[in-house]
Structure 1
Amino acid sequence: MSNKKKIAVFLSGLDEEYQNQITQGIHEFAAAHNIDVLHFIAFGGILNNGSYDTGEYNIFRLPNLQELDGVILLTNTIDSPETVREIISQVRASGVPAVSVDADYQDFFSICVDNHSAMAQIVRHFTNEHGLRRINYVSGPDDNPDSIARLAAYKQVLEEHNIPIEEARIYHGTFQRRDGRTAVDVFLRSDLPMPEAIVCANDTMAVSVIGALNARGIRVPGDIMVSGFDNTYNARNYAPEISSVARPLGQCGALACQLLYNAWHGVPQTRVHKLEMQPRFTESCGCGAHYCDTIRDFKKHNYQIQEDFNVDISLLSRMACSLVECANYEEYIEALKEFVLETNCEEFYLCLCENWLGHALPATQAEPDPSTADACLIHGYTQRMLVPLSYYEGKFRCHEDFHVDQMLPALYRQVDHMRCFYFVPLHFREHCLGYYAICNTAFPMRSSLFHSWSLNLSNSMENIRRIIYLDHAVQELDKLYATDPLSGIANRNGFRRQTEPVFARCIAEKHPVMVMFIDMDGLKMINDTYGHKSGDIAIRSMATILHECCTNGEICCRFGGDEFIVFAANYTQQDADRMTDSIQKKLEDYNRATSMPFALHASSGYHIAVPTPDKSLFAMVTLADTIMYAEKRKKRHSKYLKSSSSIRQDAESN
Structure 2
Amino acid sequence: MVSVNQSGFYAIAVVVAGTDEEYQSSVLRGITKAAKEHQFNVSVFASFGGVLSNSQYDTGEYNIYRLPDFSRFDGAVLLTNTIGDRDVRQQIHDAVRASGIPAVTLDNNDCPEFFNVCIDNYASMKAVTAHILDVHHAKTLCFISGPEDNPEARERKRAFLDAVQAHGIAPEQYSIYQGDFRPLSGMRAAEALLRSGRALPDAIIAANDAMALEAASVLEEHDIRVPEDVIVTGFDYTYYAQHHCPSLTSVARPLCDAGYSACTLLLRVLAGEKCEKMMTLGAKPVFAESCGCVDTESLDIRRYRKATYGLIKNTRTDVSLLNRMTSALAVSESPEENIRIISGYLQEIACEQCCICLCDNWESAFLDGHAGESVEQYQIVGYSEEMSAPLIWSDGRIAERNRFKTAELFPFPPETGGHVSYFFPLHFRERCLGYYIFTNTEFPVRSILCHSLMMNISNSFENVRKLLHMNHAIRELDRLYVIDPLCGIFNRNGFIRLADQIFRHSCETHGSLMISFIDMDGLKYVNDNFGHDEGDFALRQLAAVIRDSCTEQQICARFGGDEFIMIADGMTEEDAKSFEQRFRLKLAEANKIISKPYELCASIGTFVTAVEPEMKLFSLIAQADQIMYEQKKRKTTSRYLRRN
- The TM-score bracket by the shorter chain reads over 0.9
Alignment equivalent of 1:311, drawn from 293, 300, 317: 317
Partner SS for 2:148:
coil
Contact 1:326–1:464 under 8 Å retained in 2:
yes
Structure 1 CA distance, aligned partners of 2:536 and 2:287?
87
Contact 1:102–1:145 under 8 Å retained in 2:
yes
Query: CA shift at 1:594, angstroms?
Result: 2.2
Structure 2 CA distance, aligned partners of 1:170 and 1:499?
81
2:512 aligned partner: 512
User: What stretches of structure 2 of length at least 5 have no aligned partner?
Assistant: 1-5, 635-644
| Identical columns (%) | 40
Partner SS for 2:365:
coil
1:223 aligned partner: 229
Structure 1 CA distance, aligned partners of 2:432 and 2:542?
45
1:29 aligned partner: 34
Contact 1:421–1:438 under 8 Å retained in 2:
yes
Query: CA shift at 1:393, angstroms?
Result: 6.0
Alignment equivalent of 2:138, drawn from 132, 150, 172: 132
Contact 2:147–2:153 under 8 Å retained in 1:
yes
Read off the aligned partner of 1:278 and give its amino acid letter.
Answer: K
Query: CA shift at 1:598, angstroms?
Result: 4.2
Contact 2:140–2:173 under 8 Å retained in 1:
no
Q: In the TM superposition, what are the counterparts of 1:221-620 in structure 2 within 5 Å? A: 221-360=227-366, 368=374, 373=376, 375-392=377-394, 394-411=396-413, 413-415=414-416, 417-620=417-620
Structure 1 residues 251 and 399 mapped into 2: Cα distance closer, same or farther (>3 Å)?
same
Contact 1:359–1:431 under 8 Å retained in 2:
no
Contact 2:21–2:445 under 8 Å retained in 1:
no
2:89 aligned partner: 84
Structure 2 CA distance, aligned partners of 1:409 and 1:396?
13
Query: CA shift at 1:633, angstroms?
Result: 4.8
Q: Please say which of residues 103-112 and 543-552 is displaced more in the overlay.
A: 543-552
Determine if the alignment matches structure 1 residue 114 to structure 2 residue 114: no
Q: Please say which of residues 117-126 and 498-507 is displaced more in the overlay.
A: 117-126
Query: CA shift at 1:547, angstroms?
Result: 2.1
1:648 aligned partner: none
Structure 2 CA distance, aligned partners of 1:365 and 1:147?
48
Please give the per-residue CA displacement for 1:216-250, whole angstroms capped at 9, x wherever unaligned.
Answer: 21111111110111111111111111111111111
Contact 2:139–2:173 under 8 Å retained in 1:
no
Query: CA shift at 1:609, angstroms?
Result: 2.3
Structure 2 CA distance, aligned partners of 1:364 and 1:174?
42
1:650 aligned partner: none
Structure 1 residues 154 and 367 mapped into 2: Cα distance closer, same or farther (>3 Å)?
farther
User: What stretches of structure 1 of length at least 5 have no aligned partner?
Assistant: 635-654
Alignment equivalent of 1:62, drawn from 58, 64, 67: 67
Structure 1 residues 367 and 477 mapped into 2: Cα distance closer, same or farther (>3 Å)?
closer
Query: CA shift at 1:169, angstroms?
Result: 3.3
Query: CA shift at 1:597, angstroms?
Result: 4.8
Read off the aligned partner of 1:311 and give its amino acid letter.
Answer: T
Read off the aligned partner of 2:35 and give its amino acid letter.
Answer: A
Structure 2 CA distance, aligned partners of 1:164 and 1:587?
102
2:13 aligned partner: 8
Contact 1:139–1:151 under 8 Å retained in 2:
yes
Structure 1 CA distance, aligned partners of 2:142 and 2:387?
51
Read off the aligned partner of 1:422 and give its amino acid letter.
Answer: Y
Determine if the alignment matches structure 1 residue 175 to structure 2 residue 177: no
Structure 1 residues 619 and 80 mapped into 2: Cα distance closer, same or farther (>3 Å)?
same
Structure 1 CA distance, aligned partners of 2:590 and 2:356?
52
Structure 1 CA distance, aligned partners of 2:87 and 2:535?
58
Structure 1 CA distance, aligned partners of 2:596 and 2:23?
77
Please give the per-residue CA displacement for 1:483-530, whole angstroms capped at 9, x wherever unaligned.
Answer: 222222111221122121221121222222121111222223333333
The number of equivalent residue pairs is: 627
Contact 2:483–2:491 under 8 Å retained in 1:
yes
Structure 2 CA distance, aligned partners of 1:401 and 1:534?
48
Read off the aligned partner of 1:616 and give its amino acid letter.
Answer: K
Please give the per-residue CA displacement for 1:372-424, whole angstroms capped at 9, x wherever unaligned.
Answer: x4x4010000001111111236521131301111111211x423x51110111
Query: CA shift at 1:364, angstroms?
Result: 10
Structure 1 CA distance, aligned partners of 2:46 and 2:372?
29
Structure 1 CA distance, aligned partners of 2:518 and 2:170?
97
1:47 aligned partner: 52
Q: Please say which of residues 614-623 and 211-220 is displaced more in the overlay.
A: 614-623
Structure 1 residues 118 and 569 mapped into 2: Cα distance closer, same or farther (>3 Å)?
same
Query: CA shift at 1:600, angstroms?
Result: 2.3
2:641 aligned partner: none
Structure 1 CA distance, aligned partners of 2:356 and 2:497?
41
Alignment RMSD (CA, Å)? 2.0
Contact 1:353–1:385 under 8 Å retained in 2:
yes
Query: CA shift at 1:596, angstroms?
Result: 4.8
Structure 1 residues 589 and 349 mapped into 2: Cα distance closer, same or farther (>3 Å)?
same
Structure 1 residues 2 and 139 mapped into 2: Cα distance closer, same or farther (>3 Å)?
same
Structure 1 CA distance, aligned partners of 2:566 and 2:445?
68
**TM-score, normalized by length of structure 1?**
0.92
Structure 1 CA distance, aligned partners of 2:373 and 2:514?
52
Contact 2:503–2:513 under 8 Å retained in 1:
yes
Structure 2 CA distance, aligned partners of 1:545 and 1:159?
96
Partner SS for 1:398:
strand
Contact 1:168–1:187 under 8 Å retained in 2:
no
Read off the aligned partner of 1:260 and give its amino acid letter.
Answer: L
Contact 1:353–1:382 under 8 Å retained in 2:
yes
Contact 1:360–1:368 under 8 Å retained in 2:
no
Contact 1:136–1:199 under 8 Å retained in 2:
yes
Partner SS for 2:402:
coil
Contact 2:62–2:88 under 8 Å retained in 1:
yes
Query: CA shift at 1:167, angstroms?
Result: 11
Partner SS for 2:349:
coil
Partner SS for 1:400:
strand
Structure 1 residues 600 and 367 mapped into 2: Cα distance closer, same or farther (>3 Å)?
closer
Query: CA shift at 1:593, angstroms?
Result: 1.6
Read off the aligned partner of 1:294 and give its amino acid letter.
Answer: D
